[in-house]
Structures are given as structure tokens and as C-alpha cells.
Amino acid sequence: METRLARIISYIFHPLLMPTYGLFIMFNLKAYFAMAIPEQAKWMIIGLVFITTFLIPLLLVMLMVRRGMISSLFVDNKTERFYPFTVIAIFYLLAFYMFRQLELAPFFQMFLFGALVLVIMAMAINFYWKISLHMTAVGGLLGVFLALTFRLMIDLSMYLFITILIGGLIGFARLKLKSHDSKQVYTGFVMGGVVMFSIFYFI
């Protein structure tokens, strides 16, 4: 039962879905950069990000699985991660470029830029060590909310609490499935948080 739950959690909070989740939350914050965008435009942009950062990369990764290039959608085998990482980085770069063309508030561009940076960092680390992409992604969300809290002086305590709770669930899931050890889980979480906080707070 716990193993099944761990798989469900891993699917729901797949790293490729985090940009879509994060952007949806940012669009619904009570902040000037979000409230200035028309509702219809928000949904169009979210759909664009979903297709670019999740749907197309997922389909390509599934194709790699079918052709035997990788063994699973989670790419738990460190030696198989190079090609999926490359595909994901290319489409994250494309999403960042599209955001720049849309001329949205800098915070949205920083979000996609930070996601791209984390993918590239995880790709580089993967040559030497395996890191949890699930935890890197949720840690990145926490870093965003922390930075916005301090920079804009807005109350995001609910989002912080929920993100920490989700991070705990994801950490449990990745350990339960034996996809990572505790160091890989904690390192991914901290790296995601520090990188995204730094980008949002200092840039």
C-alpha cells in the first residue's frame, strides 16, 4: 500500500509538472505582477508552459522508453539521464525564450530561467552523482515563495507550509521507492531552494 502511494505521489508531483504548478500559483497570488494579467491570458500562458515543459518532453521521454534508450519515465538510472536531460533543457530554454517575447513581469521570466538553471545543474551533477529531481523541483518552489515573501513583503505562509508538506511527501515517496538515498533527497531539496531563492531575491 505504501509503495503504491509513493508511486502516485511521484507521478502527481513529477518534476516536469512543477513549472506548470508553480506558474499557476504565481498567477493567483495577490501581487501586482499577477493581478495585471487578464484571466484568459493566464490560462493561455499556463497551457503553453504545460505543453512546452511537460507534454512534449514527456512524449519524447516515453519514446525513449519504448526504444529502450531509458528504462522508465522517472529515469532513476543515473547512466540513462543524459538524453532526457538534454531534451528537457532544450524545451525549458524554449519556454524561457517565449516568456521573454511575451514581455511579462520579470518574476515570471526568472521562474523559467531558474527552472532551466536547475535542469542544467542537475545534468552536470549527474555526471558524478545522482540527485533527486523531484526534490530539486519542490525545493525550487519553496525558494520562490520564500524570496517573494522577503522581497515583496507579502504573506505566503500558507504556500510555504503546503510546499514543505508536499516536499515531505515527495521525500518519503522517493525513499520508499528506493529511487534515492537520504543524501540525494536532501541535497536536491536544498539545491532547488537555494538556487531559486537567489535568483528571485538577488537578481
Percentage of the chain with pLDDT > 70? Answer: 99
Q: Residue 124 above 70 pLDDT?
A: yes
What was the pLDDT predicted at 79? 78
- Nearest of 14, 54, 37, 26 to residue 200 by alpha carbon: 26
What was the pLDDT predicted at 66? 87
Q: Residue 76 above 70 pLDDT?
A: no
Q: Give the residue-averaged pLDDT of 65-90.
A: 82
Structural domain that includes position 131: 2-202
Higher-confidence residue: 172 or 100?
A: 172
Average pLDDT over all residues of the chain: 92
What was the pLDDT predicted at 72? 75
Tens digits of residue pLDDT in 100-123: 888 788 899 999 999 999 999 999
Contact 94, 64 (CB under 8 A): no
Longest dimension (CA), the chain: 50
What was the pLDDT predicted at 65? 85
What was the pLDDT predicted at 133? 93
Per-position DSSP letters for 31-52, written without gaps between them: SHHHHTS-HHHHHHHHHHHHII
The CA distance from 201 to 203, in Å, is: 6
Say how many Å lie between the first and final Cα of the chain, rounded.
Answer: 45
Contact 195, 140 (CB under 8 A): yes
What was the pLDDT predicted at 45? 94
The CA distance from 107 to 122, in Å, is: 22
Burial class (CB in 10 A: 0-12, 13-18, 19+), 190: middle
The CA distance from 36 to 111, in Å, is: 17
**Domain count of the fold of the chain:** 1
Go through 137-174 and write b for each residue having 16 or more CB atoms within 10 A of its CB, e for each that does not.
bbbbbbbbbbbbbeeeeeebeebeeebeebbebbbebb
Least confident of 48-57, 70-79, 144-153, 172-181: 70-79
